[in-house]
Amino acid sequence: MSAIVRGAQMARMLNAWQVAVGVRGPGGRRPEYVVLANAVRGLLIDGRLALGVRLPAERELAAALGISRTTVTAAYRELRESGHLSSRRGAGSWTELPAGHRVGTSGLWTPSDDADLIDLGCAAMPAPPEFAAAATEAVADLEPYLCGPGYQPAGLLVLREAVARRYCERGLPTEPDQVMITGGVQQALDLLLRLLVAPGQRALVETPTYPNALSAFLAGRARLSAYAIGPDGWDADLLLSTVRAAQARVAYVIPEFHNPTGHLMPASLRERLPAAAHAAGTDLIVDESFVDLPLDPDLTDEAMPPAIAAFDRTARVLTIGGMSKAFWGGLRIGWVRGPAPLIARLAAARVGVDMASPVLDQLVAARLLLRRDTIVETRRKQLLVQRDTLVAALREHLPQWRFALPRGGMVLWAELDAPVSSALARSAEELGVRVAPGPRFGADGTMERFMRLPYTLPEADLVEAVRRLAVARTDLDRPRRHPWSAPAVVA
């Protein structure tokens, strides 16, 4: 039996669809049913509406949206014509996709084989030049491990020592038995949620936040509460009071160059957060994926705020990090830092998932960490140039968009001039640019005024991507004609 979306649910998912998809534009007005059909297509393409789901009856959806049934009937007809809906008389209508189209999975990025596509959907960089040498050395390091079974759920000691040493360099004393190696940061989060959060328990997340983290919480059937990050970052008093009031099992935060807003959490808030979490019975999961990538000259390693775990007195802070951002996403190595007893429990629970991380990958990671200073310095210089290139292009081609200049990390969070993010993402892809619309970063499907723009591509690609985005944004305001639409009404 297929899932059914009720009218009220559909209305919430569409979320001000008449404004978000641009019913009105300077040149005229699109028919309302066309706008509604476009909004439903957007839900499908973004993965917020699953395939094979039965949509509300026309009369039910019309009542929920406060529009005429004729409008819904025409919208469903257009969706059938475009291959996004199939219907059987007397049985209902189900979502589908036309041949050749692909749907996102809960906001997850999927790679493209289109060589001409400028892909701003993923914030990641190619492997550094030092990777090949590190891999060669790792093969030479492999022989002593070949006589054993190769399963070490907590990770190789040589890599745990290297990760612990890096924490010590940041002023956070850490022993190897406080570190567990995982298959990337995403698996680190997933394993913690498996261990700590039972289905139905409450979890506190920031909004906006990292889409794959939201997917992990939803897969574990956690009940989500959200704290909104403002244009200036975290409101300390509001966040602390929210932590106390929510009394969530865990709270997930990204303090260093927050994904997607780019904000850096101040030391004063880091100092107060563990105590508030302890008072609420909440464990903090701190995602440090971007911690190695400050870009401002004044943000040296020594000038960076202390890790949140440095203020932990009650074993409530669990830190996750990995190699994907500063080094290479293709090396699926991450880690969890926490109290040694919890790390031991986590390693035991991990056996039921994938036993252990690949030995050779861990040896490569250990060799790369020996070259950290050189690799990271090069990355920072490159990202700084690319960030400034993206900013200059936005100011030239889309001056009406607003944003805070990120002091580090890989992404810029732009506030658009209208709530058209999903529609703009669809229009831009037709012009050969893939972007991640704002709703992918919110637990409730809002954020239509925002868009995340990574600056991880070469400068020429960034400039061309912004130029095409500006064309796509202009196109949204132009009335479109359809075979069965009435003539546009000139405003």
Tell me which amino acid residue 198 is: A
Cα dihedral across residues 371, 374, 375, 376: positive or negative: positive
Residue holding tokens 């400039």? 463
Cα 255 to chain centroid distance, Å, stands at 15
Write down the mean pLDDT value for the chain: 89
Q: How many helices (H) and strands (E) does the chain have?
A: 16, 15
pLDDT tens for 372-403 read 999 999 999 999 999 999 999 999 999 999 99
pLDDT, greater one: 6 or 169: 169
Average pLDDT over residues 438-457: 87
Q: Are 189 and 213 in contact (CB under 8 A)?
A: yes
Q: Which two tokens stand for residue 325?
A: 């951002």
Rounded Cα distance, 4 and 56, in Å:
7
Phi/psi for 285 (5° steps) reads -105, 110
Q: Are 225 and 249 in contact (CB under 8 A)?
A: no
pLDDT, greater one: 113 or 150: 150
Lowest mean pLDDT, pick from 132-141, 339-348, 433-442, 445-454: 445-454
- Longest alpha-carbon distance in the chain: 78
The pLDDT, as a whole number, for residue 303 is 93
Residues in a beta bridge with 105: 108
pLDDT tens for 50-79 read 677 789 999 999 999 999 999 999 999 999
Above 70 in pLDDT, residue 86? yes
Phi/psi for 204 (5° steps) reads -105, 130
Q: Which two tokens stand for residue 256?
A: 């260093």
pTM of the model: 0.80
Above 80 in pLDDT, residue 154? yes
Share of the chain above pLDDT 90, in %: 73
Task: Give CA angle at 95 (90, 101), nearest 5°.
Answer: 145
- Number of Cβ atoms within 10 Å of the Cβ of 303: 10
Q: DSSP letter at 314?
A: S
Q: Which two tokens stand for residue 74?
A: 């025409």
pLDDT tens for 286-296 read 999 999 999 99
pLDDT tens for 226-244 read 888 988 999 999 899 999 9
Q: Which of 319, 282, 306 is nearest to 185 (CA)?
A: 319
